Chain A
Amino acid sequence: MKKLFLFFCLCFISCNDLIVDTDYSNDSLSVISITIKPEHYTELLENKLKDAFVPADLYYNNKIYKVHLSPQGAGSRFYPKFGLKVTLSDGLIKGLKEFNLSTQVSDNTLIRSQLASHLYKQFGFLSFYSEVIFLKINNEDKGLFLLTEKIDEDFFQRRNKKVFELVKTVFDAKFTFMDKNNPEATFEKKIPDDNNFSNLSEFIHLIDTIDITKNTNSLEKLLDVDNYIKYHALTSIMNNTDGLANNFYFYKERGNSPYVIIPWDFDKSFNLQFKVGVVGNNHIIKKILENENYRKRYNDIVMLIVEKYFTEENLFPIIDSCYQKFKKFYNRDPFLYNEQESFETRVRLLKDFIISQREIIKHEKI
């Protein structure tokens, strides 16, 4: 009887872990066509490092929407293919009043983001909606972009979630005060929109000072440690080189809730060039792994990922489905098309990476 009860419990837990709401079976790719006056387009190009916005018409799904466009992204603004923030004057697209058209500059297949998004969702992380679309501006092909839901007040409202605080890691964020560190410089307070970083500073200070071998309570009060371990392990295994000091949110549901992680921007996941290792480096995980129980939990999560999630069975169908969807448009992307390296080659390299990464992680010690 006890075994039966345990079996049901385990089934329940694993069902909860698998939250998948993206439909990869749809084989059509949406086309978004933007018409913008030449002088406004010039203004946009001339101000792409600022958040200046210009009016435009957006054609999608047989409807014309009045929109405002502004440049979007951090590092991608320095590339010829840069992202756009789209704000609709009226109506909604995909239920969104505002969304980004992100270039995902480091993802030369646009499939990495889809894979990462799928895995984070499977692990139960709060995830933003995303979909690859083909963009045309003034009837000129601009290429494949990732339409992404923004993480703002509306994001939480759509999910019936409260939000007390939301802080974004920006670039090279440090989780220690041992080095020179002004949180205002490397974090961005999103909700509320002010410059108060006292909660985050208190958390970073605790990371510096806590003896976690004796006391885990004070850390658990400020950070959902299990949630963080899952995030860190998954991000490391995905070899997301830009996801441990950048590109995630600290989300606090209520004033006294611990921070949980919301992942963001995955174009550097499945990175073929640089190695993160089974435990990517940052001060949070360094501290967490000083505790033996947490270390064991990290190990268990890594094993679970390698056995059940980071597998050919789980990931290759997504790659194949994306390949089918994107291939018609891929070579029309002036920035992705490459005579020396075809889309097919890049997809193969991605699959090879997954196979080899899985083997490496299996044998790597924490």
Chain B
Amino acid sequence: MKLNYILFFIFLVFNISFSQLKYSGYGATGYRWHDINQLKEYNQEAYYEAKLETEMKFNDEISAEFDVYGDDEDHIIRLKEFSVKYKYSNLLRFRIGNIKKVFGIEQLTSRDEYFTIDDSYLKRKFSDLGYSGRSVSFMLYKNYDYEKDSLPFSYRIAFYKENSLNSGFFSRLSYHFKDIAYSLGYIFQHRIGEYKMDSYGFEFDIMYAANNFYSNFEVFYADDPNENIIRQSKSIEDFAKIFAIKSTNSYEFKIDKDFIKKIQPVLLLSYYAPDSKFLEYHTFQFLIGSDFYLTKKVKLRLNGDLLLTKSKFDDDYSTYDSRVTIEVFVRF
């Protein structure tokens, strides 16, 4: 409760003190059905959530971002992000605060810009392993603007420290050529405590965005710190390396009818092998869905997300945690 008052106070102070404020955010409500034993976790969920982002510009160089978020689970408003940005030059900017760790395209993207309703299976797995999520980080970066930039590259290098046992750094370098971007990513995680573990992840992706068509392809190769701690405890030196690929594709059809303005179908395919030495044990994700735009910022969404998991000892594929989601989404 105290946090709510503090957030409100900060919000008020910022409102009074700064004239250059920009608000944005989203609200979403929907229904989700999971393929989960309902005695483990209830398999139907009616949900709602909202996020408010406030961007404060102090001068041409310094700005800050302040995001609050709430959903039906907590029934309270939580501070999701606070970060300060400083522009030293066009080639070098700094950002410090509770920001997303970047390992792959999805973690560069905000929820309100997702083509899918939920995080992909790969992102959920990487979150479980500590390669995704938010941490207090210090980041050096450069964005790329096609119209303004003569140098066709962008980068991010960041050091992060979690309030847990993890710290580390991540980096991403992108080369932009017309509508295509080629990127390389690297993440390092240092885990302390009783079960110490250093883990690395590499990523390569190609992204295409033009003429209402969006497509990307990503390849990941990373240590599995959770599995490797188990192996280390048994003095097994052969550590597990994850191999994964993912592709997200979307096309925007303009309709311009009274009720529906445009339709944007999405197809996401991914393959995840928890141990690259045994590629026959894996999870496939087939996600198909569509956004139906009622206005530019209001859309109805439908996703069918099939997961097929074949584990080391089971000959059959399991559909555990496959899901169907419908949602109304409003962006502002």
Residue ranges of A at the interface with B (Cβ–Cβ < 8 Å) = 43, 47, 49-55, 74-75, 77, 164-165, 170-172, 177, 180-186, 188, 192, 194-196, 198-199, 201, 204-205, 208, 254-256
B128 and A195: CB pair below 8 A?
yes
Q: Which of B42, B233, B309 contacts A256 (CB 8 A)?
A: B233
- Give chain B residues whose Cβ lies under 8 Å from the Cβ of A255: 195, 229-230, 232-234
B313 and A201: CB pair below 8 A?
yes
B233 and A180: CB pair below 8 A?
no
A164 and B318: CB pair below 8 A?
no
Q: Known interface pairs A177-B313, A185-B37, A256-B233. Does A50 touch B42 (Cβ–Cβ under 8 Å)?
A: yes
> How far, in whole Å, are A51 and B75 apart by their CA atoms in the complex?
11
A182 and B318: CB pair below 8 A?
yes
- Give chain B residues whose Cβ lies under 8 Å from the Cβ of A205: 312-313
> How far, in whole Å, are A208 and B311 apart by their CA atoms in the complex?
15
> How far, in whole Å, are A12 and B45 apart by their CA atoms in the complex?
54
B320 and A184: CB pair below 8 A?
yes
Residue B36 at the A interface, CB < 8 A?
yes
Minimum C-beta distance from B60 to chain A (A): 44
Q: Which of B1, B45, B313 contacts A204 (CB 8 A)?
A: B313
Contacts of B275-329 to chain A: CB distance below 8 A: 309, 311-316, 318, 320-321
A182 and B74: CB pair below 8 A?
no
Contacts of B91-124 to chain A: CB distance below 8 A: none
Interface SS of B by simple majority: loop
Residue B237 at the A interface, CB < 8 A?
no
B230 and A185: CB pair below 8 A?
no
Q: Would you mind naming 13 contact pairs between A and B with Cβ atoms under 8 Å apart? A: A49-B44, A50-B42, A50-B72, A50-B73, A170-B37, A170-B39, A177-B314, A177-B315, A180-B316, A183-B311, A185-B318, A194-B128, A255-B230
Q: Known interface pairs A55-B1, A164-B233, A255-B233. Does A75 touch B39 (Cβ–Cβ under 8 Å)?
A: yes
Q: Which of B40, B44, B72 contacts A74 (CB 8 A)?
A: B40
- Give chain A residues whose Cβ lies under 8 Å from the Cβ of B312: 198, 201, 205
Residue B61 at the A interface, CB < 8 A?
no
> How far, in whole Å, are A93 and B74 apart by their CA atoms in the complex?
24
Residue B226 at the A interface, CB < 8 A?
yes
16 other A-B residue contacts (CB within 8 Å) besides A53-B73, A185-B40: A49-B42, A49-B44, A50-B42, A50-B72, A52-B74, A54-B75, A74-B40, A164-B233, A171-B37, A180-B314, A185-B36, A185-B320, A196-B226, A196-B227, A198-B227, A256-B235
In the complex, which residue of chain B has the Cβ closest to the Cβ of A70?
B73
> How far, in whole Å, are A77 and B312 apart by their CA atoms in the complex?
34
- Give chain B residues whose Cβ lies under 8 Å from the Cβ of A194: 128-129, 226
In the complex, which residue of chain A has the Cβ closest to the Cβ of B314?
A177
In the complex, which residue of chain B has the Cβ closest to the Cβ of A199?
B230
> How far, in whole Å, are A164 and B128 apart by their CA atoms in the complex?
17
Q: Known interface pairs A52-B72, A177-B313, A256-B233. Does A188 touch B40 (Cβ–Cβ under 8 Å)?
A: yes
Q: Which of A53, A208, A254, A256 contacts B75 (CB 8 A)?
A: A53
Minimum C-beta distance from A89 to chain B (A): 9
> How far, in whole Å, are A201 and B313 apart by their CA atoms in the complex?
7
B233 and A186: CB pair below 8 A?
no
- Which of B40, B44, B128 has the most chain A CB within a 10 Å cutoff? B40
> How far, in whole Å, are A196 and B250 apart by their CA atoms in the complex?
32
Minimum C-beta distance from B68 to chain A (A): 18
Q: Known interface pairs A195-B128, A198-B227, A256-B233. Does A180 touch B318 (Cβ–Cβ under 8 Å)?
A: yes
B311 and A182: CB pair below 8 A?
yes
Q: Which of B224, B234, B235, B309 contacts A182 (CB 8 A)?
A: B309
Listed from nearest, the 6 A-B pairs whose CB atoms lie closest are: A255-B233, A182-B318, A49-B42, A171-B39, A177-B313, A196-B226
- Give chain B residues whose Cβ lies under 8 Å from the Cβ of A50: 42, 45, 72-73
Give the size category of B's interface with A. Answer: 20 to 34
- Give chain A residues whose Cβ lies under 8 Å from the Cβ of B226: 192, 194, 196
A256 and B234: CB pair below 8 A?
yes
- Give chain B residues whose Cβ lies under 8 Å from the Cβ of A208: 313
> How far, in whole Å, are A185 and B36 apart by their CA atoms in the complex?
7
B40 and A186: CB pair below 8 A?
yes
Minimum C-beta distance from A50 to chain B (A): 6
> How far, in whole Å, are A177 and B318 apart by their CA atoms in the complex?
12
A196 and B40: CB pair below 8 A?
no
In the complex, which residue of chain A has the Cβ closest to the Cβ of B73?
A52
- Give chain A residues whose Cβ lies under 8 Å from the Cβ of B44: 49
Q: Known interface pairs A50-B42, A53-B74. Does A196 touch B230 (Cβ–Cβ under 8 Å)?
A: yes
In the complex, which residue of chain A has the Cβ closest to the Cβ of B235?
A256
- Give chain A residues whose Cβ lies under 8 Å from the Cβ of B195: 164, 255
Minimum C-beta distance from A264 to chain B (A): 14
In the complex, which residue of chain A has the Cβ closest to the Cβ of B72?
A52
Q: Which of B42, B230, B235, B316 contacts A198 (CB 8 A)?
A: B230
- Give chain B residues whose Cβ lies under 8 Å from the Cβ of A55: 1
- Give chain B residues whose Cβ lies under 8 Å from the Cβ of A77: 42
> How far, in whole Å, are A192 and B235 apart by their CA atoms in the complex?
19
Contacts of B49-79 to chain A: CB distance below 8 A: 72-75
- Give chain A residues whose Cβ lies under 8 Å from the Cβ of B1: 55
- Give chain A residues whose Cβ lies under 8 Å from the Cβ of B129: 194
In the complex, which residue of chain B has the Cβ closest to the Cβ of A209?
B313
Minimum C-beta distance from B74 to chain A (A): 7
In the complex, which residue of chain B has the Cβ closest to the Cβ of A51?
B73
Minimum C-beta distance from A126 to chain B (A): 20
> How far, in whole Å, are A177 and B310 apart by their CA atoms in the complex?
12
- Give chain A residues whose Cβ lies under 8 Å from the Cβ of B320: 182, 184-185
Q: Known interface pairs A185-B37, A186-B40, A196-B227. Does A47 touch B74 (Cβ–Cβ under 8 Å)?
A: no
Q: Binary interface profile of B, 208-239, with partner A (CB < 8 Å = 1, else 0)?
A: 00000000000000001011011011110000
> How far, in whole Å, are A170 and B37 apart by their CA atoms in the complex?
9
Minimum C-beta distance from B192 to chain A (A): 14
- Give chain B residues whose Cβ lies under 8 Å from the Cβ of A170: 37, 39-40
A43 and B316: CB pair below 8 A?
no
- Give chain B residues whose Cβ lies under 8 Å from the Cβ of A185: 36-37, 40, 318, 320
In the complex, which residue of chain B has the Cβ closest to the Cβ of A186?
B37
> How far, in whole Å, are A194 and B1 apart by their CA atoms in the complex?
29
In the complex, which residue of chain B has the Cβ closest to the Cβ of A195?
B128
> How far, in whole Å, are A170 and B42 apart by their CA atoms in the complex?
13
